[in-house]
Structure 1
């Protein structure tokens, strides 16, 4: 059993390693020549897992640092420096969700969603275009009910699997939702990109099919690697950051 100092040193070392991994993934575009938006790199694959393993705050810092370095090495455009903050938020939300700290998750997700729906241009966009974000919000509510009622599965492995599943989905959907918030309520759709509402409608139609793939991929990684690594990192019993 590690001492408190040894455990903290391990977490800091892991944070540095994960930041380096995020940096490498961030400089590799998913589609060559396509370097803007939520599909700009492969960093999304690890961001929820890092939040789970390191905790919400250290995990968010590690992901944020790695993303910043990656964006500096492979510079897209100044606008992407704004949208990249979705990644550390996703790690933050995944870390909170795994540790059953549902209050900040519910508050942040609700505020972002309300901000989207009260923006007039969102009324012109198809609701089903963000269906995965709405499913994510439903899971936030389910997580809150399970935590308050203490009715998570009793078997340790099943409980960990469920929490990793919810953490992966909620973390990625929070990442996506913040980027949507910056784009729509933040008015960057026209201020940065000069998009019209009709062009946004086409973008929303495509996003309804594409973004769930991203969420599914990262959630699978979160579950598989999370189950394998959680004992080594001791996230269940030692990490409460």
Structure 2
């Protein structure tokens, strides 16, 4: 986490980050499936907010950046609640980088449970003769982070290592993805009545697409984030 010497500097740095994050949200990467909107470069930077500023200031920074993006011309998709996936990513990354081991694993599982128990969700997808959990990659991210915490506890790796940053980013981006699914069901479907012609086919399509999407975000995010954290570590002597 960023070793800022005082609250005022931390607020200043997080505000600057919010501005940069708002700009990143203006640049599309891929379309939302079934929606007239896009995923943006903001997906790559939201976990970094938590890594730098901790879980709570990171959430505030991402939230502020999301609303600044609205002002800059990016239209809201989820009735102004568009900050929630990015805020979830920042929250999880912040818990990881402040050493909150149990909470960093528990919160993603809670979000997954909210998605799974929703009757609008598909918990299992038939792939040939077997049924695969829709959230298989999300569960893998929790397992990966759990193993990483064990390695940290045994002093096999450090929090500043590439493996820890990558595992944190993997868990954060998968948590953001499932939080987006919860928002889709409750904001767009239940509140606004935006219902795909075949909801089951919609989730089946997402099931085959999201692993590629989230693998890209994990690799790209880690590639961007790790050098930034290393540079800040040299400047401040602390991450």
Assess same fold via TM > 0.5: yes
Q: CA deviation at 1:174?
A: 0.9
My pick for the range that moved more, 36-45 or 51-60, is: 36-45
| Counterpart position of 2:198 | 199
In structure 2, do the counterparts of structure 1 residues 14 and 149 end up closer, same or farther at CA, with 3 Å as the change threshold? same
Where in structure 2 are the equivalents of 1:39-54 lying within 5 Å? 39-54=38-53
Alpha-carbon distance in 1 for matches of 2:18, 2:34: 20
| Counterpart position of 2:184 | 183
| Counterpart position of 2:15 | 16
Q: CA deviation at 1:195?
A: 1.0
In structure 2, do the counterparts of structure 1 residues 143 and 94 end up closer, same or farther at CA, with 3 Å as the change threshold? same
In structure 2, do the counterparts of structure 1 residues 135 and 6 end up closer, same or farther at CA, with 3 Å as the change threshold? same
Q: CA deviation at 1:90?
A: 0.7
Alpha-carbon distance in 2 for matches of 1:149, 1:31: 35
Alpha-carbon distance in 2 for matches of 1:68, 1:127: 39
Aligned length: 234
Alpha-carbon distance in 1 for matches of 2:31, 2:148: 42
Alpha-carbon distance in 2 for matches of 1:109, 1:148: 18
Q: Find the partner of 2:140 among 127, 138, 162.
A: 138
Q: CA deviation at 1:30?
A: 3.8
Q: CA deviation at 1:15?
A: 1.3
Alpha-carbon distance in 1 for matches of 2:188, 2:31: 24
Q: CA deviation at 1:38?
A: 7.7
Structure whose residues are more often helix by fraction: 1
The reply to whether residue 228 of structure 1 matches residue 230 of structure 2 is no
Where in structure 2 are the equivalents of 1:54-93 lying within 5 Å? 54-77=53-76, 79-93=78-92
My pick for the range that moved more, 83-92 or 30-39, is: 30-39
The reply to whether residue 162 of structure 1 matches residue 184 of structure 2 is no
Give the gaps of 5 or more residues in structure 1. Answer: none
Q: Which has the higher contact order (CA 8 A, sep 6+)?
A: 1
| Counterpart position of 1:212 | 211
Q: CA deviation at 1:180?
A: 1.0
- 3-state DSSP class of the match of 1:81? coil
- 3-state DSSP class of the match of 1:229? helix
Give the gaps of 5 or more residues in structure 2. Answer: none
Q: CA deviation at 1:107?
A: 2.3
In structure 2, do the counterparts of structure 1 residues 221 and 78 end up closer, same or farther at CA, with 3 Å as the change threshold? closer
- 3-state DSSP class of the match of 2:227? helix
- 3-state DSSP class of the match of 2:142? helix
TM-score where L is the length of structure 1 = 0.77
Q: CA deviation at 1:168?
A: 0.9
In structure 2, do the counterparts of structure 1 residues 169 and 64 end up closer, same or farther at CA, with 3 Å as the change threshold? same
CA RMSD of aligned residues (A): 3.7
